[in-house]
Chains A and B, each alone.
Chain A
Amino acid sequence: MQSESTRAAGDILAYRYSVYDLLRRIFLWEVPLEFFAELVKASQAELAGETCSSSAEGPLKNYLNGLPPDDLSEIHREIHIEYTRLFIGPKHLPAPPYESVYRSPGRLMMQDETINVRSLYAKHGFRVTRMNREPDDTVGIELEFMCALSKASLDALQEGDTRRVVEFVSAQREFCELHLSKWMPEFCGDIIGNSTHPFWKSVAEFTQRFLEEDAAEMNAVLEQLGRSCKDGDPNPKLSVGCCS
């Protein structure tokens, strides 16, 4: 029998997975046009002309909602060029997308933090595709790692393997505590402070708020699953949250 709380845990895992998947795509992919069009379509379908009052998602959704769906190419081009200016160059980067730049005294790539991130990836069976050529602690890759572990936790949940769900979410919590939380607030702040583009400002606000929330959600999930385990069933069946 499923309790309210276990159903909620499933929903949370599914939600987190989808958000990390979205964020890693945004930061890794330079937001291709088709993907951007999908985002706009989805947002407009959901809001159906209304205004989103959520303080965390509102700016992003309302921005997307206000765009002309059939004529996105010029808007998308501006977003793309702003991405380049913020994260690729060639001029001085307003928001360098590497953890070690924010955490090392000399503000450099490939520092101790990078190698610590690499070790954590390795502990869970991952390595960066372009080892030693692109920093392991690039924002999109760190978010992809979170996304991959989210997927793994969902898979484990579907298989009813609570022990592994706990293992994956704990690993994510550790990664957030040791890494993401240590630099993402400042990184997002740099985007907000240095970009006048509504898309990137709202993405940064959204990311900042989401990571804050997610830290609490991970604790909640671990607490719930811990309680379920204590209830006597070593492997309680949990429901998988679906897209509703």
Chain B
Amino acid sequence: MSDQNSKYGFSRRSFLQGSATLCAVSVSGLRLFGLTEDERWVDTGATVDITSPRTLGYNVCPRNCHDTCSLISEKVNGRLVRVVGDPTNPITAGTPCVKGHTHLNVLYHPDRLLYPMKRAGRKGEGKWERISWDEAYDTITTRYKDIIAKDGSEAIMPYTFSGTFGQIHEWGVPWRFFNKIGATAIEREVCLWAGLEALSYTYGDPFGCEPEDYAKAKCFVAWGSNEAYTNVHAVKFINQARDNGAKLIVVNPHRHPLASQADLFIQLRPGTDAAFALGVAKVLIDEKLYDKDFVDNYSIGFDKLQEKVKEYPLPKVAKITGVPEDQIREFAHMYSKNNATMMRIGYGLQRRKNGGTMIRAISLLPALIGSLGVEGGGYAYANLNHWPMDMNYMTRPDLLGDRKVRSINMSQLSRAIANKLPTTQERPIKALFVFSGNPIPSGTNVNMIREGLQRDDLFTVVFDQFVTDTADYADILLPAAHFFEVEEVNADYLGAYVRYNKPVLEPMGESKSNLQVFNELAQRMGYTEPCFKESVADVIKGALNSKNPAFKDITYESLQEKHWFHVNQGNHWAGRKFGTSSGKVEFYSAAAAKKGFDPVAEYVPDIESMEASPALYAKYPIHLVTPASPQLLSSQWHNVPYIKENLGEPTIRRLNLQHELSPSRQGVGEKSIWRGDMGIQKAFYFNQNRCIGCHACQTACMVFNKLDVGMNWRKVEEFETNVSSRQVDRYLSVACHHCKEPQCVKACPKGAYTKRMKDGLVVQDQSKCIGCGKCVVACPYKAPQMNASRKKVEKCNGCYTLVDQGKDPECVRGCPVQVMKMGDLAKLDAGGADKTAVGFTVFKTEPSIRFVPPRG
């Protein structure tokens, strides 16, 4: 037989057996590479113990976000099996966002970088080789030493900001290394700094209210912010205020979900916010709607503002902004009706040439209506005053010593590396170290960044969890550990929370934390300072600023025990004392004047605008804005199949500035309908008035029920509709409706479907399904779906295993805006719930879904 061809085509007289070295049949023992043989087994026959008990871990999502969720991870046998939000944390309130539902899909993504690699072809060609950390470190330090000797230390430049935040690994220890080197400093001021400066001119510091304060507002203004996409956990606080009758005003060129729900939506031309704010100020002053007591006692420069607003008559403002005059007045009236009015100011609008001047103009309004120091009033922009770390300890600027190094703003990276800045023409950047950042999709002038990265004499290291567009041009790629694998302290920048992330896993593959990599690099550079030997625990203990009474309770030990702290600083404007040089709100700012800005405020047209370049504007009248996505965080999450499925294709939407006012709305007391008791027929109860269409419910369902990609037991649909002649978006989240007359039960020839007596949920037994598809045809809602690869039909089973334990279905638990519930159909009907909603059709099957009645 051994000389014959087998039926599978093998000759069997194989070269595999022809070579002594290749043929492993030998008397010597077998050498193993990936496996370890347990000695005990050899001797005694005992087997290796690989089981470990189920444990819970406390983690923090560090992906640069206002919410910075507290998470609970469940670990079984050495791996994470589930991640939920910490239900005790007021912001997270039990569930992360749509992205956070898929943390494990990122952690265990097969494309994660697990080993150091080096480029094996031309830059950008895509050829790579795996190397050892030793080789990676040797390559980097040899090159750095060479560059420092020949070109000086400033030829080395870090680039970061910011996929991932962290007090230690991102704000802290990397800078010790770059300070010691004397590298070119990077100004990481692209995010919100213009606004911080502008607010400081007015109020002395930029800090303000916390998200929990929103719930107490009588009117909420979302100006240039998009909570539904980038701050989703704040939406529930806004909704609490709205449930109590608060008005919602949105100022934004983009009709985002809250804009569709708003009582007043100001859809202005991009870049014209300052003109609109000054127009509103004019109405407030002319119609004496401002708070005279506050202005008289707690501000300076009101007379200068009175003069300034004369330059902004409403016809002019309407022309600039595209907002009709009556809407400007409407805004001023609604905004000033109550001084418990909260204004949330977003960041997007100030990321432009005149961004700071826009925020300065907007910042005058909360003072005009005297909302500061009032419960539920004031503004919120960014809060950083609860960050508990001593930055000097963490970043060690003393390591720089007397050396003066140049600094380059991150938005100038393209010119810096393409040798187009005067300073880099003279002394080019020769080495770029990129971590927690990806400039190609997020920086300015992508083509020039690419041109710079392609320079043969630029040595680029990229340290990340996945290959990025930037990493395509790297010389060395280093694998970064995931946050479940790294000890960290996180502080958000809108609330006032300090959170501790305890590592629950060993880093996968050969990935490493930032601290480990920069410490090891420093040691190999020959740096002997003890700080380069510190552990994360050492840094936390050393840097915690416990001398400050606000942080007295926060210690390394208490962080481990309590997982998160709320740094309670009370109302930021209690006492109405301000940090300006006058101690008052400054409508006239000498500090601003000194920097060359209008001391009051002004509208500075964009270079390409109608006012600044009429000829150019006539030729190019379209202004594109690129809003965020609820499913992505800049360039992150795009590679997760469950996320990709919901993203759809890129779309362009034209903003028709039609400005019809929605009618005034009366809050319908959905709380009175909602009782949530157990009953005979369970039903989903959906609040279409408040749904933001983020797909978190759908994604939570897919993750929990481990659905194949392409299967959607729950779907979120989007509809454009008219409410009182105003065009708005509405969303509908639907799954199986567990009908009273379920057609699937009737249609199935194998009896795979059962309508449960105790709660009316319609559940399917997969083992009985023969994939005939009769139920798919029979159901008018298309709830049963054919899974082509498994050749079986599947559908929502109401998460009956959870319902049996008295818990909510996963879609309900996974909604960060809390717009869905499951309850007793009869009680919902008795309470006046609606049977239909925008986009929904009631068929004769009697679907068990009810809707919160439309408001108004």
**Interface digits, A224-244 against B, CB 8 Å rule (1 contact, 0 not)?**
000000000000000011111
Given A8-B2, A125-B38, A125-B41: A216 touches B110 (CB 8 Å cut-off): no
Check A222 for interface membership: any CB of B closer than 8 A: no
Q: Which of B29-69 contact A (CB under 8 A)?
A: 30, 32-38, 40-42, 45-50
**Residue pair A39, B47 in contact (C-beta under 8 Å):** no
Cα–Cα distance between A98 and B79 once the two chains are bound (Å) = 15
**Residue pair A80, B34 in contact (C-beta under 8 Å):** no
**Residue pair B35, A129 in contact (C-beta under 8 Å):** yes
Check B642 for interface membership: any CB of A closer than 8 A: yes
Cα–Cα distance between A57 and B12 once the two chains are bound (Å) = 9
Cα–Cα distance between A132 and B121 once the two chains are bound (Å) = 32
Cα–Cα distance between A125 and B36 once the two chains are bound (Å) = 9
List of A residues within 8 angstroms of B40 by Cβ: 125
Check A107 for interface membership: any CB of B closer than 8 A: yes
Cα–Cα distance between A19 and B706 once the two chains are bound (Å) = 36
**Residue pair A126, B33 in contact (C-beta under 8 Å):** no
- Size range of the chain A interface in the assembly: 35 or more
**Residue pair B709, A105 in contact (C-beta under 8 Å):** yes
Q: Which of B628-657 contact A (CB under 8 A)?
A: 639, 641-642
List of B residues within 8 angstroms of A123 by Cβ: 47
**Residue pair A90, B113 in contact (C-beta under 8 Å):** yes
Cα–Cα distance between A61 and B17 once the two chains are bound (Å) = 13
Q: Which residue of B lies closest to A114 (CB)?
A: B79
**Residue pair A126, B16 in contact (C-beta under 8 Å):** no
List of A residues within 8 angstroms of B78 by Cβ: 131-132
Q: Which of A198-244 contact B (CB under 8 A)?
A: 209-210, 212-213, 216, 240-244
Check B11 for interface membership: any CB of A closer than 8 A: yes
Cα–Cα distance between A28 and B506 once the two chains are bound (Å) = 22
Cα–Cα distance between A55 and B10 once the two chains are bound (Å) = 7
Check B149 for interface membership: any CB of A closer than 8 A: no
Check B129 for interface membership: any CB of A closer than 8 A: yes
**Residue pair B35, A98 in contact (C-beta under 8 Å):** no
* B293 → A minimal CB distance (Å): 59
**Residue pair B34, A107 in contact (C-beta under 8 Å):** no
* B144 → A minimal CB distance (Å): 22
Check A180 for interface membership: any CB of B closer than 8 A: no
**Residue pair A88, B17 in contact (C-beta under 8 Å):** no
Check A184 for interface membership: any CB of B closer than 8 A: no
Given A15-B14, A127-B50: A106 touches B105 (CB 8 Å cut-off): yes
Q: Which of B2, B10, B108, B507 contacts A111 (CB 8 A)?
A: B108
Check A161 for interface membership: any CB of B closer than 8 A: no
Cα–Cα distance between A198 and B467 once the two chains are bound (Å) = 27
Cα–Cα distance between A239 and B507 once the two chains are bound (Å) = 47
Cα–Cα distance between A57 and B10 once the two chains are bound (Å) = 6
Cα–Cα distance between A41 and B128 once the two chains are bound (Å) = 27
Which of A68-76, A139-147, A170-178 contacts its partner?
A139-147
Q: Which of A56, A90, A121 contacts B117 (CB 8 A)?
A: A90
Q: Which residue of A lies closest to B464 (CB)?
A: A90
Q: Which residue of A lies closest to B29 (CB)?
A: A151
* B128 → A minimal CB distance (Å): 5
**Residue pair B41, A84 in contact (C-beta under 8 Å):** no
Q: Which residue of A lies closest to B25 (CB)?
A: A14
**Residue pair A108, B34 in contact (C-beta under 8 Å):** no
Check B505 for interface membership: any CB of A closer than 8 A: yes
Check B326 for interface membership: any CB of A closer than 8 A: no
List of B residues within 8 angstroms of A134 by Cβ: 34, 114, 508-509
User: Which residue, of B2, B8, B11, has the highest number of chain A Cβ atoms within 10 A?
Assistant: B8
Q: Which residue of B lies closest to A14 (CB)?
A: B25
**Residue pair B10, A90 in contact (C-beta under 8 Å):** no
Q: Which of B235-274 contact A (CB under 8 A)?
A: none
List of A residues within 8 angstroms of B42 by Cβ: 125
Q: Which residue of A lies closest to B17 (CB)?
A: A243
Check B708 for interface membership: any CB of A closer than 8 A: yes
* B709 → A minimal CB distance (Å): 7
Q: Which of B708-759 contact A (CB under 8 A)?
A: 708-709
**Residue pair B505, A109 in contact (C-beta under 8 Å):** no
Q: Which of A11, A115, A129 contacts B1 (CB 8 A)?
A: A11
**Residue pair B11, A18 in contact (C-beta under 8 Å):** no
Q: Which 5 A-B pairs have the closest CB atoms?
A: A125-B41, A90-B467, A213-B8, A55-B9, A42-B19
14 contacts between A and B (CB under 8 A): A38-B21, A52-B11, A85-B128, A90-B467, A108-B105, A108-B108, A109-B508, A128-B36, A129-B33, A140-B34, A151-B24, A213-B7, A241-B2, A244-B17
Residues of A within 8 A of B (CB): 8, 11, 14-15, 17-19, 21-22, 24, 28-30, 38-39, 41-43, 45-47, 52, 54-58, 61, 64, 77, 80-81, 84-85, 88-93, 96, 98, 101, 104-111, 114-115, 118-119, 121-134, 138, 140-141, 144-145, 147-148, 151, 154, 209-210, 212-213, 216, 240-244
Residues of B within 8 A of A (CB): 1-2, 5-25, 30, 32-38, 40-42, 45-50, 77-79, 104-105, 108-115, 117, 120-121, 126-130, 466-467, 471, 477, 505-509, 639, 641-642, 703, 706-709
